[in-house]
A and B are shown apart, each in its own frame.
Chain A
Amino acid sequence: MRVIIASTSVPHIDGGGRLIARWTAEAMRDAGHEVEEFYLPFPTEPRPSLAAMVGLRATPFAGSGDRLIAIRWPAHVLRHENKATWFIHHYRQLFDLWDSPYRGVPANAEGIAYREALRRIDNQGLGESRDVFTNSLIVRDRVRTYNGLDPEPLFPPIGGDISRFHTDCYGDFIFYPSRITPIKRQFLAVQAMRYTKTPVRLVIAGKPDSALFGKEIRDYIREYSLQDRVDLLGWLHEDVKVDLLSRCLALAYLPLDEDSYGYPSLEASHSAKPIVTLSDSGGALEFVRDGQEGLIAEPNPRNLALAFDRLYEDKEEAERMGTQSYARRAELKIAWPHVINRLLGEDQ
């Protein structure tokens, strides 16, 4: 099948939204389909989004390819006669983050007007899609709530050569690889290290979104003399990351109310490592059940420290949870053949 994969991007910002499109394209090519990828730059602020939406809608995809797969918001406004949308999030500031500090528009009639305009556009783009999928149960529920539609959850697998992942040992450190940004709460993980009672260590890897946030973390480590317990590694080459995954005790993934389980969770699963997450982390809770694939802590430093200590003190339990973490993907049908079939409108 000739497939167009269309997504939006912010130039020079890499993340899950870009990976899901790229990996889907690669998996489809591997399955024998003719795939072209389009990453259309799209602004992040509300005001320029409106005019950019008009430009996106004007992009002439209709008549090209047999199927268009729209991925990152708002690629679903693209017009195509056989469009499927893999909806991975709303314009979150105006919907699920409305009551949070991330809202980004005034909480008055103007802000509401932005939200209603985008709700209408989402309804239009999703409504004209032949099939609508979401990347998690959370996003499915949000689409039900905000758009009155009932999409099918379709969990995205990790891409590339997954044979690179392996398990060496259950070491003495918790590994947290992710973009370093307040919403991922690396700071909470560092704070937890003040309260651990075991020699467990924390290794954080990733590029800070803002220099200020990175400095805050470094200052905190220095202030509480955690230099011997916490490593801040910055962005890692894939090989180094895979190596750390293979040797860590567990993976921490602590986002605030995230849309999906996140690729770090899947990387932990491929490495047969338990996952420590928080009770308000969102999508990760669809993958991790407390005491089975990992531990779910309350979102405070002391409770998180207890989870870290528990895994350190009982490595057999950590290994058992790691094994369940590995098996969890099959339970949730997190596999490319299933995903590709569904995206291309074939039978379940």
Chain B
Amino acid sequence: MKVAMVMPMAPESAIADVMSQAIPGLRSNWDLEIWCPTEESYRSCSVPLRPYAEANTDVVNALAAFDLVVYVLGDSPWHSRILPLAHSLPGLVVLHDASLTNLVRFVAIEGNDLEALVERVELERGPELAGILRSASPPGGAAEWLRFCAEVPLDDVAAEGSLGAVVHSVWHARRVDGLTLGHVTVAPLPVPSPHIGFESNERASSSALISELPDDALLLVTVGAANANRRIDLLLEAIAKDPVLTENVHLWAVGPATEDARAELGGLARTLGLQNQFAMTGRVTDSLLQEILARADIAAALRDPVLEGQSASVLTQLISGTPVVVFDHAHYAELPDDVAIKVDPQDALEGVRVALRILVDDGADRGRRGDRAREYVRESRSGAKYAEALLEAGELALAAKPIAYLNADLGSRLRRLGLNREPMFVNAVTDLAFDLFDLG
């Protein structure tokens, strides 16, 4: 079977890293090519690589010659030249993020189509949310925008007409169910490689942090961009609330941060008297990240709201043998109980404090959980396992092609007749199609 997988191939793309892990397994079953938006450089690839500059008709026509096209989508500009292709030529979509609001909005702006998107959201969700989509600047700032992205994920727009979807958690699958014409497959996201591609931006001060950390300090890390939904503030408050934690725990936020976030969180740490125990490393190199994780005693991933379909950073923390504290919601709730300590988000502060105390007080339990975490990831995650799931999803996507054709043909016929916005006709046609093709 001839398959084209359209994905970013920039060395710095974390999604490219995990997708690339599946390529050996995919190429042994598929006649596979990777199509990618042009970049300055590309990661190495064992199958033919076809960079393209623009998502235009020529590319669509070339992709149409394949039996199946797999589109890899995440909520970042890496994917802005991929989404238009997915809309032009239905294929299997791999959704890395539960919210694709930024991507869909960006692509709509690029295509001079923002007003149509806003109109759609207004029809479905009301004028207030439509207004936020138009401006992308809600009154509450960045935190409110993240909440908006969670509430209006626009994944229905991204998956529209697709032959199936691959997601990385059962939670995400439930959200996506019904948005695609085909099947939703839950695939086990592999652990990001130890060396993704960040080797050129090392911050010397971050490297020095490790050597300056007291030997007996318990290092709590949270890995990833220091966004408003990472709840670093909550970790600081939980530490400050408990004298044992205050005495023993150092908190590092590992990942890029804006100056505003640095100022805000630094100010909070000072207010709480934790300025000497709190550090924001900024973006770190792959090797430094591995050093930090090797030194870390506890990890925390307290995303709220949850915008990604699975947490690659949690997997990275788990494979390093670090027990992790998470909220008991979204895909985090699917982690085994002996691997992660799950905190009720409704009782977040006290829950996080208690969870940290359990791990701080009982070094043996911490060690057991760390070992189990590593074991869990090794058993359940690999490029080969991921490829197996993608292959199965590919078969299911092929099986959805007839229904996709039916959808396209009925849609174009209604459009030609000018009836595509007449509910009576649309309902009559869809009722018949549902009845005949068992689409319910």
Having A54-B429, A58-B428, A110-B399, one finds 8 other A-B pairs with CB under 8 Å, namely A47-B402, A54-B433, A54-B436, A57-B436, A58-B429, A108-B398, A110-B402, A114-B402
A113 to B409, CA, bound (A): 17
Which of B1, B399, B400, B438 has its CB near the most chain A CB atoms (within 10 A)? Answer: B399
A48 to B401, CA, bound (A): 13
Contact with A along B119-152 (1 / 0, CB 8 A): 0000000000000000000000000000000000
A77 to B432, CA, bound (A): 11
B432/A47 in contact, CB under 8 A: no
| Chain B CB within 8 A of A225 CB | no
- In the complex, which residues of chain B have a beta carbon less than 8 angstroms from the beta carbon of A47? 402, 405, 409
B396/A109 in contact, CB under 8 A: yes
- In the complex, which residues of chain A have a beta carbon less than 8 angstroms from the beta carbon of B413? 51
| Chain B CB within 8 A of A106 CB | yes
| Chain A CB within 8 A of B58 CB | no
A77/B399 in contact, CB under 8 A: no
Q: Mind listing 15 A-B residue pairs with CB under 8 Å?
A: A48-B409, A50-B409, A51-B405, A51-B410, A54-B406, A54-B410, A54-B433, A58-B428, A58-B429, A108-B395, A108-B398, A112-B399, A113-B400, A113-B402, A120-B438
Contact with A along B383-422 (1 / 0, CB 8 A): 0000000000001101111110110011001000000000
Query: Which residues, 43 to 57 on A, are CB-close (under 8 Å) to B?
Result: 46-48, 50-51, 53-54, 57
SS class, residues of chain A in contact with chain B: helix
Closest B-chain residue to A47, C-beta based? B405
| Chain B CB within 8 A of A19 CB | no
Known interface pairs A50-B437, A54-B436, A57-B436. Does A117 touch B402 (Cβ–Cβ under 8 Å)? yes
- In the complex, which residues of chain A have a beta carbon less than 8 angstroms from the beta carbon of B110? none
Interface size on A, residues (CB 8 A): 21
| Chain A CB within 8 A of B115 CB | no
| Chain B CB within 8 A of A341 CB | no
Chain A positions within 8 Å of B, measured between CB atoms, are: 46-48, 50-51, 53-54, 57-58, 77, 106, 108-110, 112-114, 117, 120-121, 124
- In the complex, which residues of chain B have a beta carbon less than 8 angstroms from the beta carbon of A54? 406, 410, 429, 432-433, 436
A65 to B396, CA, bound (A): 43
A114 to B432, CA, bound (A): 17
Query: Which residues, 227 to 286 on B, are CB-close (under 8 Å) to A?
Result: none
A109/B436 in contact, CB under 8 A: no
SS class, residues of chain B in contact with chain A: helix
Please list the 9 inter-chain residue pairs (A to B) with the smallest Cβ-Cβ separation, ordered nearest first: A51-B409, A109-B398, A113-B399, A109-B399, A50-B406, A110-B398, A110-B401, A109-B395, A54-B432
Distance (Å) between the CB of A41 and the closest chain B CB?
14
B436/A124 in contact, CB under 8 A: yes
Closest B-chain residue to A120, C-beta based? B438
Known interface pairs A47-B405, A50-B409, A50-B437. Does A113 touch B432 (Cβ–Cβ under 8 Å)? no
| Chain A CB within 8 A of B435 CB | yes
| Chain A CB within 8 A of B67 CB | yes
B432/A57 in contact, CB under 8 A: yes
Closest B-chain residue to A57, C-beta based? B432
- In the complex, which residues of chain B have a beta carbon less than 8 angstroms from the beta carbon of A108? 1, 67, 395, 398
| Among candidates A48, A110, A121, residue contacting B436 with C-beta atoms closer than 8 Å | A121
Query: Which residues, 269 to 325 on B, are CB-close (under 8 Å) to A?
Result: none
Closest B-chain residue to A115, C-beta based? B402
Known interface pairs A51-B406, A51-B413. Does A117 touch B437 (Cβ–Cβ under 8 Å)? yes
- In the complex, which residues of chain B have a beta carbon less than 8 angstroms from the beta carbon of A124? 436
Which of A53, A54, A120 has its CB near the most chain B CB atoms (within 10 A)? Answer: A54
Distance (Å) between the CB of A310 and the closest chain B CB?
49
- In the complex, which residues of chain A have a beta carbon less than 8 angstroms from the beta carbon of B433? 54
| Among candidates A50, A58, A106, A121, residue contacting B405 with C-beta atoms closer than 8 Å | A50
Distance (Å) between the CB of A112 and the closest chain B CB?
7
- In the complex, which residues of chain A have a beta carbon less than 8 angstroms from the beta carbon of B428? 58
Closest A-chain residue to B400, C-beta based? A113
A113/B401 in contact, CB under 8 A: yes
| Among candidates A50, A58, A77, A106, residue contacting B67 with C-beta atoms closer than 8 Å | A106
- In the complex, which residues of chain B have a beta carbon less than 8 angstroms from the beta carbon of A51? 405-406, 409-410, 413
- In the complex, which residues of chain A have a beta carbon less than 8 angstroms from the beta carbon of B437? 50, 117, 120-121
Closest A-chain residue to B1, C-beta based? A108
Which of A47, A51, A106 has its CB near the most chain B CB atoms (within 10 A)? Answer: A51
A233 to B409, CA, bound (A): 42
Closest B-chain residue to A114, C-beta based? B402
Distance (Å) between the CB of A111 and the closest chain B CB?
9
Distance (Å) between the CB of B290 and the closest chain A CB?
41
A121 to B437, CA, bound (A): 7
A113/B436 in contact, CB under 8 A: no
- In the complex, which residues of chain A have a beta carbon less than 8 angstroms from the beta carbon of B409? 47-48, 50-51
Closest B-chain residue to A112, C-beta based? B399
A109 to B400, CA, bound (A): 9
Contact with A along B1-12 (1 / 0, CB 8 A): 100000000000
Distance (Å) between the CB of A156 and the closest chain B CB?
28
| Among candidates A46, A57, A58, A77, residue contacting B402 with C-beta atoms closer than 8 Å | A46
- In the complex, which residues of chain B have a beta carbon less than 8 angstroms from the beta carbon of A121? 436-437
Closest B-chain residue to A113, C-beta based? B399
A124 to B410, CA, bound (A): 21
A113 to B404, CA, bound (A): 11
Distance (Å) between the CB of B436 and the closest chain A CB?
6
A152 to B162, CA, bound (A): 43
Closest A-chain residue to B430, C-beta based? A54
B436/A53 in contact, CB under 8 A: yes
